[in-house]
Amino acid sequence: MTRPAIYVEGAALEISFADGRRNLQELIFDTVRAAVDDSGQPMHEIDSVVLAAHDLVDGRSLSSMVTSPAAGAYLRDEIRYGDDGAGALAAAVTRLEAGHARRSIVAAWGRSSEHSPDQFSRSLFEPFRSRPLGLDEFVLSAMRAQLCLSAGDGAGPARERASLRRIDSARANPRALRGGGFRSAPHFPLDDADLPLWADVTAAVVLSTEPSPIRVAGVGQSSEPYNFGDRDLRTITSLKTAAGRAAADAGFGADTADVAEVDGLTLIDEALGLEAIGFAAPGTGLRTLAGDGRANPSGGGASGYSPPSMGLVRVVESVLQLRGTAGSVQQRSVRRAVATGGSVVAGQTQTVVLLEAV
C-alpha cells in the first residue's frame, strides 16, 4: 500500500504577551480558529487533533483536559504530545499516513507570562545529581557556546553581525512580538542579544490527505541520551540524524531548501542547528546567520519564544514563505523549506520537517 501524501491546508500563529483581554483557552481558540478558516474547511471535516502542550508551562495539571476543547478536540480523536510542536506535527502526519484520520489540527502553545521559564527549565533536570547544581537550559547553551566560540566558529564580527541581523529580522517580521516580553539573565559567554524574547506563543496548522499547494515532503526525528554528559554539546547529533531521515523520506535535503527556519534557544544554538541540518557548512553557522537572508528570516527566537510551541512556529513561518505571504520578511522564489523543532534538555529530541510547494 502506498503512503498517502500529506498537505498543509491552513496555518496561523500569534505572538503576544500578558494579554489581559484573553485567557489561555481564548488565545488557543483564536489561533486554531484562524488556521481552520485559513484551510477553507468546515470544522465537521476535521476528525483528529494533536496537541503539543506541557503541564509545567501551562500551570495546569492535565492541561489538555482544560485546553483541548479550545483547540477543537471536543468529540474528536485527540492526542496530547508532551513535547515540541514539530514533534506533534510528525505524530499527526504518521496518523494520517496510517489512515487513522483524513484531516487533522495540530496546535501548540506556551504562555511565558504565566510561568517562570527559568524555574521550568531547572525542574526538567535530574533531581539528585544535576538539579542541585542550579543548572538550567541557558547554562547548557552557554557551555555549548563556549565550545563553539573557543573553536573559532564565527567569533567576533560574524557573531555580532548575526545578532544584529536576527534583531532586524524580528523587527521586520509582522508576526513578531511588538511589546512586552522579557529575557533571562545571560551566562558567559552569552549576552542579552543572544537570548530569546520570552512571549506568549500559539500556533496551529491543518493537515490533510487531500491535495493542496503545500506538501509535507519529509519528516525525521531523533533523540540523544537524556544525560547531557553523554553527549557532544559542540554538535547537535540528534538534529543531524533527524535531518538525514527527513531527507531520505523526501528525496531531497535541507541543503536544497530555499528557506531554513531552525529552532534554537539562543543565537549560537540556531547557528549550530543550521550546521546540523546541512544548510551551513561545519563552523560557518554564525556566518550564515549573519549574511544569508534565507536562514531564519523570521528572526528566530528574537521574534518571541516559548516552548513547546516553537517547532510548529517554524513550520508556520515556512508555510507562509512557500505561499509568498510572509510579509516584509518574504524571500524570493521559495519552493522548498525546512523547519526544525527541539526539546529539552539541550535539544535532546529533534524533529525536521521538509516542505515544498506543489
Task: Provide the residue ranges of all domains of the chain, joining segments of one domain with +.
Answer: 6-115+199-208
State residue 316's pLDDT score.
98
Residues 313-327: what's their mean pLDDT?
Answer: 98
Element (DSSP H or E) covering residue 241:
helix 237-250
Q: Which three cell numbers stand for residue 191?
A: 549576552
pTM: 0.97
* Residue 223: strand pairing partners: 349
In CATH, the number for domain 6-115+199-208 is: 3.40.47.10
Decide if pLDDT at 155 tops 70: no
Q: What's CA 125's distance to the chain center, in Å?
A: 21
Instruction: Let me know: does 260 contact 277? Beta carbons within 8 Å.
Output: yes
Question: What phi and psi, each to the nearest 5 degrees, are found at residue 357?
Answer: -80, 135
Pairing of strands 336-342, 259-261: parallel
Q: Is residue 154 predicted with pLDDT exceeding 70?
A: no
**What mean pLDDT is reported for the chain?**
94
Round to whole Å and give the CA distance between 234 and 214: 34
Over residues 158-186, the mean pLDDT reads 96
CA distance 132 to 49: 38
Q: How many CA atoms lie within 13 A of 199 on its CB side?
A: 26
C-alpha cell at 27: 488565545
Taking residues 110-132, what's their average pLDDT? Answer: 90
At 143 the pLDDT is 93
CA–CA gap between residue 124 and residue 262 (Å, rounded): 23
What average pLDDT does the segment 169-181 reach? 97
Distance CA(33)–CA(16), nearest Å, equals 17
Give the mean model confidence (pLDDT) for residues 252-271. 97
